[in-house]
Amino acid sequence: MENSRKGRFMGAVCYDLSRCWQVVETPHYSNVVYRLMTYNLLAPDMVVKHKSHYGGFEEQHLNWGNRLNKLTQEVQVLNPDILCLQEVQCSHLPQIMRRFKATTMRSYNYIFQQKLESESDGIAIIYDMIKLELIGHRALGRQIQEPNKREDFDRFALMGKFNLTGTPNQLIVCSAHLLQGSPLGTDERPDIVQRLRSELLQYSRDHENGHCIPIILGGDFNFSSGTKPFRTLTTPTVYSACSKQLVPVYTTTTKQVSAYDTKQGWIDADHIFYSKGCPLYNIRPCSYYLLPRICLEQLPNHFLGSDHYCLAVNFTVN
């Protein structure tokens, strides 16, 4: 028993020490720094639906109350201004908001979009109302048809447009969750990503003055760095005389695996992207939260509440 406790303690220590902030550039003292965190929370109904996948897991590691405590601890440590969340169960959203607001003492509000009409979870953007003012939002979706089932609607992204308090600048925040494949077995992610990029560019167009608004995008994309969907999303685009490119925060030299799949093992599924090329003002990353250098065990486990690691970035808009 003593060796087991010691092993768990050492695992936690190794995990904590391996998650540090990688500095990109030091912001000017007068610039406001924002912190965005993206996280797939692993909705409880998804655990029940895919119960066979978690046959080897201890029940305490799958229990929602235990997992929420661990998720809340991570939010408390990172204390983000913005959270891009995936697999947020509708019925638990009020509970999640109460816990996150209490542990950070922040004035959080949220926007939410159910992902599938046939499921109980969805995508959310939580934001600090003191630093960001929501002025609009939009969801992106597509029709899907599973064999021998009724047609469903998959909402794969939620976009929010914000005024940045105390500045003349605005920001587009997007939380995305792409399915691994289509019910018919074809990989539709390149087409979905192409549409996501086009819709983001269109939504970021400021029609009042003809300029574009910077974009930051986080989520569970279910594709790895360097794949065709990844390249599609990051290809430079000229839109209405505004040359804009979505750039990954985590580079191929620093990116590690970000999620544990019970069938595939450790995978690189989660990403944060930001836009470059806006003529007036842009996002400038200051630092990002390094992924663990080691894979401890399967997720969720005794000190992490999801089957994904969270990602986070500090940035300015100027």
pLDDT tens-digit map of 67-89 = 999 999 999 999 999 999 999 99
Contact predicate 96/130, CB 8 Å: no
273, β-bridge pairs:
217, 248
pLDDT band of 66, cuts 50, 70, 90:
very high
Distance CA 228, CA 233 (A): 9
| Strands 311-317 and 34-40, bridge-based pairing | antiparallel
Distance CA 59, CA 62 (A): 5
pLDDT over 70 (residue 273): yes
From the centroid of its chain, how far is CA 228? 20
pLDDT band of 295, cuts 50, 70, 90:
low
Distance CA 277, CA 201 (A): 11
pLDDT band of 211, cuts 50, 70, 90:
confident
Write down the pTM of the prediction: 0.90
Side-chain half-sphere CA neighbours of 152 within 13 A:
17
3-state secondary structure of 3: helix
Contact predicate 162/132, CB 8 Å: yes
Q: Which domain holds residue 161?
A: 2-317
Distance CA 36, CA 83 (A): 6
Dihedral sign (CA 246, 72, 35, 267): negative
Give percent above pLDDT 90 in the chain.
61
Total count of domains within the chain: 1
Can you tell me the mean pLDDT for 275-281? 87
Average pLDDT, the chain: 87
Distance CA 312, CA 78 (A): 8
pLDDT band of 180, cuts 50, 70, 90:
confident
The predicted pLDDT at position 23 comes to: 95
Which CATH number do you get for residue 109? 3.60.10.10
Query: What's the longest Cα–Cα distance across the chain?
Result: 66
pLDDT band of 261, cuts 50, 70, 90:
confident
CA-wise closest residue to 249 among 280, 232, 270? 270
